[in-house]
Each structure stands twice: as C-alpha cells, then as structure tokens.
Structure 1
Amino acid sequence: MPAVTLSEEIVDAINAVNGVHPGFRAVHAKGTVCEGTFTATPEAARLSRAAHLQGEEVRCTVRFSNASGNPKASDAHPLASRGIGVKFHLPGGGATDMAALPLPLFMVRNADDFLGFTRARTPDPETGRPDPDRMMAFVADHPETAAAIQLGLPKLAPTTSYATSGYNGLHAFGLVAADGGETWGRYSWVPVEGEHYLSDPEREAAGRDYLQHEIRERLEGDGEARLRLDFKLAADGDSLTDPTEEWQGEREIVTLGELTVTGVIEEPADGPLVFDPNNLTDGILASADPVLAARSPAYSVSVERRLA
C-alpha cells in the first residue's frame, strides 16, 4: 500500500476539522462563481511582460467564497473568513490564477507546521470543540502563528459584501519585465468602495448565506463589484519565503490594474474549476515559499476526492 503523502495528510486534517462533504472543496466549499474583466495599468506593463498585464481588457472567471470546508458554514460567523479566486483568460490562450484571503499574513511557515496547526484545531469527539490546550501548546511553540492570528483576526469579521472585503495573496511573487528585470512583492485586492464590516446587530440579523445573496443582487442588471490589484514592493531584508513575516515600515505600492466583476455564472461543467496560485504565466515568478509550493499538490488531492 503506497505511503500517505504530506498533501494527503493535510487534506485529511482539514476534513477532520470541517467534516467530509462529498462533491465539495476541502476548503472554500461554499462560493459564488462570477465573470468579469481585468484591465492593467501602464505601470504593470512596465514591470511585467505577462500577457494579462499589458493593458488589454482580459476576461476573468472569479469565485468569491466562505473559507470554511463546510458548505453549510454561516457567512455571519464572527470569524467567517472569505476568499477570492481569479482566473485570467490570457489573450493568446491558456490562463493564470490568483487566490487570496483577508488575512494579512499566513499562520505558519511551512507545510509540516500547517499540518500541526490544522490538527490542533480538530474538534474533540466528546465536546465537539477544539482542545484549547492543544492549540495553546502549538501557538506557544510557534510565536509567528500567534502574531499572525493577532494581526489577522480583525480582518476575518463579516463584511457587508464580498465586494467590500480586502484580500491578500500572502506569498511573494516576482514580476519579470521585457528586459528580464525582476521586481518582487506581495499583491492585494483592494475594494474600490472601501472595506465595510457588519455591525453586531447587522451580523446577528444576517442570514447564513447573506454574502451569496448580496453579490447576486448586486450584480443583477448593470451592477458590478470593483477591486484594485495592488503590489507591495519588497525592500532589502524582506523575506520572500516566509509568509508569516510582516514587512515592517513604509513600502512602495504599485497599482497593477482593476478587476470589474459584472455577473454571476454557473460553475463550468467542462472540468473542475481550480484557482492555483502556482498556475503562472510567463512574466510572473513564484517565490521559494514552502507554503506556496505545498498548495498545488494539496489542491490536486482535494480535486481528486471532489470528483471521485
């Protein structure tokens, strides 16, 4: 019998936290698929030769989601994180992806630590809740996790819309210019109308699927959701491989373009819709971040099980 891979262990651990839900993603199980367009800025074209960053309007498939692996998770939970996946359909064919969360930093530095972090969150069979001592022990051994959680908790609060939430790519990526020059940084999706969160009374009154309902209502007719793509440039000494490290001090931020989401569509039936941040095109480089490297094989395990 073949040995269980780390990716399989990670998906098993996620399932232990959220439950097994056949036909659904291991995480971000509940979501809304949309269509839209992206238009890059001249500065983006200067920094990268990537086809979708040259200024031509590019068609996109977008998925907004509740980050939980439980398709019945409530959007109104006080810690209900969200997600956005964007697939850019390149002018010459093919596609490249982005995936982002509200968290400013990731909680762990590598895949082994992510497995330990996820296992520490597994509900106790008797109480139905995670063992706080187990989580506290993990955090005590991983101070970077405590710092990332403290910084990220306010961003997990329910927003008024998927379109009023910010989303961060977490990992460092490199933009490669036409002359081969590289510019490294981290990207973020910034809501054009600003970040807006539910008040406590609004959250208590909101339905389980209020974000799905809101985005559908918003995009009916001529409605739209607009998000700006910003790229925070790394400075000397910034780690390109540690997603838990906060880049301290002022950083230059370059706006790469704007995404306009215009309508809700059905999830494509011609194959699984996957937003893999390692699915890159010429003109963009992945860093050697071990968490980033671990995402593709874990996605493959999740997709295989979803289609089984």
Structure 2
Amino acid sequence: MRILSALRFNQSIFGAGERTSAQEGSMRDPVLKLLVPADPVRDAIPGSHPDAPDEGWATPISDAFAVHASDGTPLQSLIDSAQGNSPFHAVVTDFDRRLDEAFGRLLRSQITEEKRLEATGWYGAYLTRLYAVAHGISAFRREVDMLIRTWVQSPHLPDDLKSPLRTLIRPKRNPAGYGSSLLPLFDSRTEPITGRTTTPKLAVRVKEPELSTDRQGQGDQILLVIATDGTTMSRVSLDFPLIREAMACVDDHVGLTDLVDVTAPRLERIRASRLQSSHLHGAEFCLADGDHEVQITQRYTKES
C-alpha cells in the first residue's frame, strides 16, 4: 500500500515515492526539480488556519496522531477536526481509509519501536501532503506571498517586511538593551559586532537604513535599494532566499535558514558598501570593548 500511495497525485507531485526518495527523483526529473522544494512537509508550520497565507496550518495533523487508539485513527481525527466546508473532505478516498486502517493494524501488531517510529513518520508525511494539497498549501507560502506583495507594492516595501530586513542588514549589538549597530573596521569580514567582544575592536556606528525597491522592467526581478541620509549605498536582488532569511528574524534577533550560504555574499556587499571611504565622512567611530562602547571623536581640519 505504501508503493501504491506513491501514485496518488498529492504524493507523486513532490516525488514522495516508496522506492525512490524525492531527492534522487529530483536529480533525474526536471519537473520534480522544481516541485520538490515546494513539498509542504518541508515547512509544516504549527497553527490551525489553512486558508490564511500568513498563519500556520499543521497543528491538526500533529493532533491527529495524539489520539488514543480507542478514540479513532489519525485520518478520522483529521476529518473530524476539519470544518464542514473544508476541501479536505472531498479529497479523502476509500484508498486513504484503507491505508489508515492498515496503519492502525500495524501499530497494534508486535513490531519494534524503530519500525513504529518509521511508519508513523512516513504516514505523518502522507497525511501532511494530503491535507496541504487539499487546501492549496505549498512549502514556504508565507515567503512566496511576501515576495508577490513586495513586487506588487514596489517601490514601497510591505510594512511587515521592513523591520525584518533592517534586522538582517543592520542587527543590533544587543536587541534587549541599547540599539546601536556596529561594523568592525579591520576585520576580514563585515560581520556586525553582536554581544560581548573578547578583544577591543574599532568600529563604525551604522545608522538605520532607508529601504525601498526598484522593479526591473516587466520581469519578476526586483531590487532592494539601501540608502542612508538620502544617499544610495547599494542595490541587491530581493528574491526568495533573501526574503526567507529576513522573515526568520524575530524581535530584532537575526534568524538563520538553510539559505544562509546564498544570502551571505549579498549581505556582505551591502555592509561593505557602508565602509567605503566616500561614505565614512562624518561617521561615528567607537571602540567596542567587552560590553561597553567608547565613543571616539573625529575632528576635521582644513587643508592649508
């Protein structure tokens, strides 16, 4: 039945086969190469709002596996929790019910704990895809929705994206305390100074950037424009990886995703542009030592 389940549309579209893993299939099939990253199992966000793009949706699935055997099965629990107008009722077939019964019989049989966990993980992924496809949910739908909104609202950034982008570009040294952001002057990389420093570091205090966007032609490319005091510092591509990395930032704390290797070079260029000599005139320099900052006064003298 696991082999047959791989033929279901809501499973095969993401390359979820019994004999071949999705990763192996995506290397051979050009269609799966595009669809495997959209597998909802990769981004099952807790919540109970499957029809709201900015909300979570996967809690009913995890709750379905928490029911006691005497209270029903995971599928039946998921059906009972779905609202009367939910499209999930329409996608459940006799095959799904028989698969659900087979899963229940397997758990009641004498199997090892390892086999039990493996079967539960597989069936959980099956129901996740079944439920998500019924509601039109793909992986990272929040980020995709934000990318579309950003393109539509250009040159203005959506309000709920501005703060995460500023945090990603200009993280505060101590989000819970003072809000300064420091870039080291003589480090090999322009990684902002966060937390306590073990050795004194000469740094420049970075002002809050002014962010806007620039849509390129009629395509889907959009550029993020970073400016300070009305002067454009840099322009970088604002695509899915950068938006996903930004939306991982919470309450002035920098987040981290598996796309950090893609976004890191662009963030490096943004911060390095602030350290160009033409942009350092009148900048605030300080010495970061431990938890403290010592302000350095910069004096200018007229050339004779």
After TM superposition, the score normalised by the length of structure 2 is 0.24
Higher relative contact order (CA 8 A, sep 6+): 1
User: Which entry has the higher C-alpha Rg, 1 or 2?
Assistant: 2
The structure in which a higher percent of residues are helix is: 2
The structure in which a higher percent of residues are strand is: 1
After TM superposition, the score normalised by the length of structure 1 is 0.24
